[in-house]
Amino acid sequence: MAEPKVTYRLDSLRGLAEDLRAQGQTVTTEILAQALRRPPAWVAAHLGDERALRLERLRFVAGRPAVHQLSWVGAPAGAALAAADLSAASLYAAIAGQGVVVHRAAEVLRPGLLDEPTAALLRQPAGAAVFVSDRITYGLDDRPIVVDRATILGSIMEIRTERAATGLSMRWTRQPGALR
């Protein structure tokens, strides 16, 4: 079996699109919604309840929908980016452009099943296997600046780990034959 060609490394602080583009993959982004909103409780628990930028994106790999991503960016960067064109820009780079330094992130990956609305966006049947990534990104002052939930098609990506006595390296890889 041939090694999959798409790999998303989890051992560095970059976005999925950045990693895939660095490997020569064609990644495009469709902005589904971008507005300042009051965050739901699961986001407010990290960013507080003041208005934040709600950025909903659909990521395409090789022209096929692969990831639904909902990001909440707290103040002050969120307000400054509310009208920015983020369809081709790295969110982390856009935040850095506002003078906010991204320092670290905590991420939890879990298996899940597609719900009806997300399934329609990803052009998959409801109940299809997905990975759900919840990531909280922190600034230098250790305050949360981004709360992100990504739904990633399990039929396209897989999680692989490489273990060594000195640590653990994780990466995303494409399932063989998933993108032809």
Yes or no: say if 84 and 94 are a contact pair by the CB < 8 Å rule: yes
- pTM, 2 dp: 0.84
Residue pLDDT, tens place only, 97-148: 999 999 999 998 899 999 999 999 999 999 999 999 999 999 999 999 999 9
Yes or no: say if 103 and 122 are a contact pair by the CB < 8 Å rule: no
* Domain extent at residue 34: 7-171
- Does a structural domain hold residue 1? no
Query: For position 59, which CATH number holds?
Result: 3.40.1410.10
- Does a structural domain hold residue 178? no
- Does a structural domain hold residue 109? yes
Residue pLDDT, tens place only, 19-56: 777 777 788 999 999 999 999 999 999 999 999 999 99
Which helix H or strand E contains 119, and what residues bound it? helix 116-122
Amino acid at 113: L
How high is the pLDDT of residue 174?
64
Yes or no: say if 155 and 177 are a contact pair by the CB < 8 Å rule: no
